[in-house]
A = this chain, B = another copy of it.
Amino acid sequence: MVKDITQPATQRQIAVGDIRKTHTNELDEIARYRRLTNYLVVAQIYLRDNVLLQEPLKPEHIKDRLLGHWGTSPGINLVYAHLNRLIKQNNLDMFLVTGPGHGAPANLANLYLEGTLNKYYPALTFDKKGLHTFVRNFSWPGGFPSHLYPGVPGTIHEGGELGYALATAFGAAMDNPDLVVACIVGDGEAETGPTATAWHSYKFINPVESGAVLPILHLNGYKISNPTIYGTMEDDELLSLFTGYGYKVQFVEGGEDADLDAQLYGAMDWGYQEIRAIQQAARSGQRIEKPKWPLIILRTPKGMTAPAEMDGEPLVGSYRSHQVPITDPQSNPEHLKLLEQWLRSYRVEELIDEQGRPRQELLNLCPIGDQRMGSNPHTYGGKIARDLDLPPIQDFAAQEDRGMPTRRGGNNVSAMEQVALYLREVIKRNPHLFRIFSPDELQSNKLGAVLDVKPREYEWPVPPHNEKVAAQGGQVIEVLSEHDCEAWLQGYILTGRHGLFPSYEAFLNIIVSMTDQFAKFLKLSKEFAWRLPVPSLNYLETSTLWRQEHNGFSHQNPGFINSILNKKAAVARVYLPPDANCLVSTMDHCLQSEDKVNLVIANKQRMPQWLSMDEAIAHCRAGASIWPWASTDNGVDPDIVLVGIGDNTTLEVMAAAQILRDELPELRIRVVNVTDLFILQENTEHPHGLDQQMFEALFTPDRPVIINFHGYPSAVEQLLFGRPNLGRISINGYREEGTTTTPFDMNVRNGTSRYQIVIQAIRKAAAHNPKVAALANARVSDYEYRLEAHRKYIEDHGSDPREIVEWQWQA
């Protein structure tokens, strides 16, 4: 291990004059190229015609609706041009994650010139017609939207909701040792919490097995209408902050007169060399301890190259250039004139010929083939994705239960411990292709076995009493930031790899909005045939609310289910496997699936096992089944249907079923288990939805149904909406009642306990079955009494009564 004793760089170390002198022509060409991309941005925002300014600008050339964001675009164009230069000169494998996704017209301008747009949109040719289509289609219904989105080649991140660009870039760089992901972070985005912690990501990047991120913090000083925190920080503050984060900082600062091209030219070379120096040291066995990775801070006036002012108010270097700086050129002749001056200031006639073809010397500045950032193969995750090598799941069946249906309900197994054995094998078979990102809970979630193959990756030296943490590359990362985990995983799978995000159930809510955005990305990706399916985004929720009785109310929150239900049906999946075998089978399914957001929910404590692996596979394939061995209706005409969805709630259903079977044999009960939540929805709404005939085959057409559901009843309510005869269905679930208490008391508080189910069942069945009706009142009081006695015991002893703790299914 080598100590890094170099000093943080500052902008004074770049010999701007020398660079200018040595590379005069190249810099001039880059400046011309930027003139062209800047022109193309302005044109996209404003013009629907006369796109080469071959006649004087008239109101009818202007779009009716002016949509777009100018302010950030010249900065993106500056960066893009210099990244192109760096790629060409060094034969780089590089692409760009653009944090300010509303700068899409800048990305589009560059993608147009490098020819990747034409590859996927053949109409966007290098002629007048193609140029006209390109310019007009921006922010036009059916054309390119105002923000980056999956229809833009080379895009793995929309940048619509700010905060996640940087960590997404790091996720893409993992396990791609030769890749450099450039990432523009705007000073608006920099204010977000997720970005503020994502700067630490390098502490998790092993320079041998992974590539690098070259962050470019672009400070233009203004958000929509405010100054920015980072924009108001002076260089010494920024230097101190980012040195603390672990970076070497290079400033590139000034307006168009500050020779930004020469500065950035030097900074890019510096950044690239710093990266390769760290990597080469590590790859030659001379790892640098706490290496300082390069960061470029680019401080330029917002909206530079626009008119300095309008109506006496500043445009450049002001929030007024954030979106459309000149808002009314169609109706205001003065402003039309100003816009024309602005457009003509780029002298487009020097950049594009009369036939609408950009000058060849400018096109020559673009990399070619897969080196074009819009064509970088990593950004086409679906094309390069390889299937995982998955082990046969029969090897991971809960052991004693295999083929022994007589032992149903015995053999207490932790579903998490079981699936961890499977995942350990997945890790072993798929180095550099499968990662687990977790918020510091693998051991707590009983998934510790996954660390047997490789310890958790962490690059900074750790104190002595740590276990299974090392700076030796790794497939498992833990950090107490759900935002990092989510963004890293998104970056990883969108570049064609596979992953899993295990979490405490309650705390996936922290990244609900990120999942929303990712589901939108997947939904839109399906609209482009050239975006082949990527591996699914897999969540494994455990430490579920029913067994967070020790941590209490703040740790009890199943709301993430509800948020998944609002995603498009083609994307969303929610699974609640009732036991370990079902969990292993479900996980195996999810790891083979594509273009989905899979939410899998299971408990980590030891629980009864219900199904052999063969049964589990069949059950999971069906999504829901009658469990005949737990039913007393012989498959026909039950008085009542008891439905378990979720493992803990299924346990209470099973206990209720056993009580009813033993103590009220007059009652014909059917026990159904649902493992795929979407079977509840109509088949017209979701591909997994059951048609009404299948639905009634499980739940009968008309008998009372008691659903004991893992999460908020609202989730089941919305799925069932539209089914006929809903009045017969009662839904128990988490009613937002909890504290630090006992497991059984959690059920009692929320009305999901066995005794409450039994009481419900008797009351409901009494209407159908006269024998039950005759007994109902007496039996209900009996069970209410037993429930009350349990409550009392819990208060007195601080624990559950023995008959609850030791309850076992009796076949």
Chain A positions within 8 Å of B, measured between CB atoms, are: 48, 63-65, 67, 101-102, 136, 139-142, 144-147, 149, 158, 160-163, 188-189, 191-200, 203, 221-229, 231-233, 237-246, 290, 314, 317-320, 440-444, 448, 456, 458, 460-463, 465-467, 469, 478-481, 483-484, 506-507, 509-510, 512-513, 516-517, 520, 523-524, 550-555, 557, 559, 562-563, 565-568, 712, 714-715, 717-718, 720-722, 724, 726-727, 731, 736, 739-742, 745, 794-795, 797-799
State whether B101 touches A463 (Cβ < 8 A).
Answer: no
Instruction: Determine if B559 and A512 form an interchain contact, defined as CB atoms under 8 angstroms apart.
Output: yes
A4 smallest CB distance to B (angstroms): 12
Bound CA–CA A200/B233 (angstroms): 11
Contact A139 B721 (CB under 8 A): no
Are B237 and A240 neighbours in the complex by a CB distance under 8 Å?
A: no
Q: A146-B551, A462-B232 are in contact. Are A192 and B188 (CB under 8 A)?
A: no
Question: In the complex, are the beta carbons of B557 and A225 less than 8 A apart?
Answer: no
A161's partner among B241, B461, B554 (CB-CB below 8 A) is: B554
Chain B residues near A512 (CB-CB < 8 A): 509, 512-513, 559, 563
Contact B226 A554, beta carbon cutoff 8 Å:
no
Contact (Cβ within 8 A) B509 A444: no
A441, B715: Cα distance in complex, Å: 33
Q: List the B side residues contacting A484 at CB < 8 Å.
A: 193
A selection of 11 A-B contacts at a CB cut-off of 8 Å is: A64-B798, A141-B741, A160-B555, A161-B510, A188-B440, A193-B193, A193-B197, A200-B229, A224-B441, A227-B463, A232-B460
Nearest B residue (CB) for A563: B559
Give bound CA distance, A63 to B224, whole Å: 57
Chain B: CB-nearest residue to A460: B232
**Residue pair B232, A463 in contact (C-beta under 8 Å):** yes
Which B residues are CB-close (under 8 A) to A188?
440, 480
Residue A192 contacts which of B63, B222, B481 (CB distance < 8 angstroms)?
A: B481
Q: Judging by beta carbons under 8 Å apart, are A227 and B146 in contact?
A: no
Q: Which residues of B contact A233 (CB under 8 A)?
A: 244, 460
The answer to whether B225 and A440 touch across the interface, beta carbons within 8 angstroms, is yes
* 3 closest A-B pairs by CB: A160-B554, A241-B244, A193-B193
Contacts A225-B444, A718-B714, A795-B142: A67 and B149 contacting too (C-beta < 8 A)? no
Is A461 in contact with B232, judged by CB distance below 8 angstroms?
Answer: yes
- Shortest CB distance A209–B (Å): 20
Across the interface, do A550 and B740 meet the contact criterion of CB distance under 8 Å?
no
Contact of A160 with B197 at beta-carbon distance under 8 Å, contacts A65-B799, A440-B223 already known: no
What B residues does A245 contact at CB under 8 A?
Answer: 241
- A193 surroundings in chain B (CB, below 8 A): 163, 192-198, 481, 483-484
Q: How far is B463's CA from A448's CA once the two chains are assembled, in angstroms?
A: 52
Instruction: Tell whether, in the assembled complex, residue B456 and residue A226 are in contact, meaning their CB atoms are under 8 Å apart.
Output: yes
Q: Which residue of B lies closest to A480 (CB)?
A: B191
Q: Is the CB of A721 within 8 A of B726?
A: yes
Pick the residue among B510, B567, B798 that contacts A141 (CB under 8 A).
B798
- Apart from A141-B740, A188-B440, A188-B480, what are 15 other A-B pairs with CB-CB below 8 Å? A149-B739, A160-B553, A161-B510, A162-B480, A192-B197, A192-B483, A193-B484, A200-B229, A203-B229, A222-B466, A226-B469, A232-B458, A512-B563, A568-B736, A721-B721
Do B443 and A224 touch across chains, with their CB atoms under 8 A apart?
Answer: yes
Q: Is the CB of B227 within 8 A of A506?
A: no
- Alpha-carbon distance between A463 and B568 when the two chains are bound, in angstroms: 45
| Chain B residues closer than 8 Å to A510, beta-carbon distance | 161, 163, 513
CA distance A67 to B547 in the complex (A): 13
- CB-based contact A551/B461 at 8 Å: no
CB of A798 within 8 A of CB of B565, answer no
Contact between chains at B566 and A65 (CB < 8 Å): no
| Given A224-B441, A552-B160, A714 and B565 contact (CB-CB distance below 8 Å) | yes
List the B side residues contacting A225 at CB < 8 Å.
440, 442-444, 448, 467
Residues of B within 8 A of A458 (CB): 226-227, 232
Whether B191 lies near A197 (C-beta < 8 A) is yes
Contacts of A799 in B (CB 8 A): 64-65
A740:B507 contact, CB within 8 angstroms: no
Task: Identify the closest chain B residue to A225 (Cβ).
Answer: B443
A240 touches B232 (CB 8 A): no
B residues in contact with A467, CB < 8 Å: 225
Which residues of the other chain, B, contact A565 by a CB distance below 8 angstroms? Answer: 714
CA distance A510 to B142 in the complex (A): 29
| Most chain B CB within a 10 A radius of its CB, from A197, A227, A465, A551 | A465
Select from chain B the residue with minimum beta-carbon distance to A69: B551
Cα of A186 to Cα of B805 in the assembled complex, Å: 36
A559 contacts B65, CB within 8 Å?
no
A162-B480, A227-B458, A724-B727 as given contacts; A554 in contact with B798, CB under 8 Å: no
Complex Cα spacing A484 to B200, Å: 20
